[in-house]
Amino acid sequence: TWSSVPAGPPDPILGVSEAFKADKDPRKINLGVGAYRDENGKPYVLSSVKKAEESIRASNPDKEYLPITGLPEFTKNAAKLAYGEDSAPVKAGTIAVTQSISGTGALRIGGAFLGRFYPHAKVIYLPVPSWGNHTPIFRDSGLEVRGYRYFDKKTVGLDFEGLKEDLRNAPEKAIVLLHACAHNPTGVDPTPAQWQEISDIVKERQLFPFFDMAYQGFASGSTDRDAFAVRHFVKEGHQIALSQSFAKNMGLYGERVGAFSLITADAEEKARVDSQLKIVIRPMYSNPPLHGAQIANTILSTPALYHEWESEVKGMAERIISMRERLYNELTHTHKTPGEWSHIKSQIGMFSFTGLSEAQSVGLAEKAHIYLTKDGRISMAGLNGSNIDYFAESVARAVKG
């Protein structure tokens, strides 16, 4: 029956984890997938998460189905976290929001909703480069995927002029995907002033802004500061779409907790949008998983846990920043690696876009048991005091050839 099914390639990101698992060398390092690791290279379960789980267990909860759009308290609190308590649409109750299977699921619901109801040309512009899963998510949602310039290889920074030109030349009312903070894979974000300009162009061209916020808190250590772009756009009157993930900032990767929201014009429009979100979701997976949403909601709604969580997010962000500092020093001073490496320090969030070529990136796996994606992206969170020397030394060797 399946004789004509062609073998597909491994996933560019999750395939790296598979290769890492199969490697038996004790020196091996996985810098592929963006998953936080502690100072000992171990997965990290946040203390606020453990406490939330204890309190959930103590309340002896049942395992009933959630509604199609998820746990209502969770989605309300997730929206507050993203938009801010004082945001006009939060206060007016005009945000249509649903729980999702983490960030990917939120993007997929958003893609499907836009694919079905967006009343203009169904074209979405993604930054070049973008997270590897964005293109297939939106393509599978029936949207036409195009790119806008984002990363400048020469400056290893933002190609702001290219970005502006491409957005100005996009057809009116096109959809534009924006990474809210900690751009994946480059670690390069617009400044607040640049966001303001982007917002103006989006307004001029009447583009539809779809924000992907998978790293709130991870860029600066502050969930408020990282929400700047989203909140600025909302203040400017854009009716945005937003995908949120709690995988990284609460370390809830496998629990699959996220949210998708759309700002609507008024309560009546919100009710119509809510009803269609349900119709989009029900045939996909019926309703979302319970446990992760309970954890996230317990943290978001319990002041002491919220406070503890905020400091844990900050702690994770700071450990990554200290690894950036150290990696820069090792590459530049200890190993005199040819090239300019200051971008390692200036980039933001979980990733660094090292500038290593595909051959060098693949070579690191083959020769040094160090796994990263082929585009030269490394998850900074995979580095720690015990493996960073070996990593820097291996990169220096790869660059020197």
Residues that bind ligand LMR in the complex, under the rule CB under 6 A:
13, 33-34, 131, 133, 184
Q: Which is nearer to ligand LMR, 135 or 194 (CB)?
A: 135
Q: What is the 3-state secondary structure (H, E, C) of the chain?
A: CCCCCCCCCCCCCHHHHHHHHHCCCCCCEECCCCCCECCCCCECCCHHHHHHHHHHHHCCCCCCCCCCCCCHHHHHHHHHHHHCCCCHHHHHCCEEEEEEEHHHHHHHHHHHHHHHHCCCCCEEEEEECCCCCHHHHHHHCCCEEEEEECEECCCCEECHHHHHHHHHHCCCCCEEEEECCCCCCCCCCCCHHHHHHHHHHHHHCCCEEEEEECCCCCCCCCHHHHCHHHHHHHHCCCCCEEEEECCCCCCCHHHCEEEEEEECCCHHHHHHHHHHHHHHHHHHHCCCCCHHHHHHHHHHHCHHHHHHHHHHHHHHHHHHHHHHHHHHHHHHHHCCCCCCCCHHHHCCCCEEECCCCHHHHHHHHHHHCEECCCCCEEEHHHCCCCCHHHHHHHHHHHHHC
Q: Which is nearer to ligand LMR, 34 or 288 (CB)?
A: 34
CB of 248 to ligand LMR, least distance (A): 8
Which candidate in 212, 270, 309, 341 is catalytic?
212
CB of 272 to ligand LMR, least distance (A): 32
Whether 51 sits among the annotated catalytic residues: the reply is: no
b/e code 220-258 from CB counts within 10 Å (16+ = b): bbebeebbbbbbebbeeebbbbbbbbbbbbbbbbebbbb
CB of 28 to ligand LMR, least distance (A): 18
Whether 131 sits among the annotated catalytic residues: the reply is: yes
Q: Which is nearer to ligand LMR, 179 or 324 (CB)?
A: 179
Bridging pattern class, strands 377-379 and 351-353: antiparallel
Q: Which is nearer to ligand LMR, 77 or 102 (CB)?
A: 102
CB of 33 to ligand LMR, least distance (A): 4
Spatial CA neighbour of 396 closest among 347, 345, 352, 360: 360
What does residue 71 show for φ and ψ, rounded to 5 degrees? -75, 115
Which candidate in 248, 270, 309, 341 is catalytic?
248
Q: Which is nearer to ligand LMR, 183 or 369 (CB)?
A: 183
CB of 13 to ligand LMR, least distance (A): 4
Residue facing ligand LMR at closest CB distance: 34
Whether 80 sits among the annotated catalytic residues: the reply is: no
CB of 245 to ligand LMR, least distance (A): 8
CB of 175 to ligand LMR, least distance (A): 21
Which candidate in 51, 131, 159, 341 is catalytic?
131
CB of 141 to ligand LMR, least distance (A): 17
Q: Which is nearer to ligand LMR, 18 or 161 (CB)?
A: 18
Q: Which is nearer to ligand LMR, 13 or 368 (CB)?
A: 13
Q: Which is nearer to ligand LMR, 34 or 89 (CB)?
A: 34
Question: CB-based burial of residue 154 (10 Å sphere; 0-12 exposed, 13-18 middle, 19+ buried)?
Answer: exposed
Q: Catalytic residue positions? A: 131, 212, 248
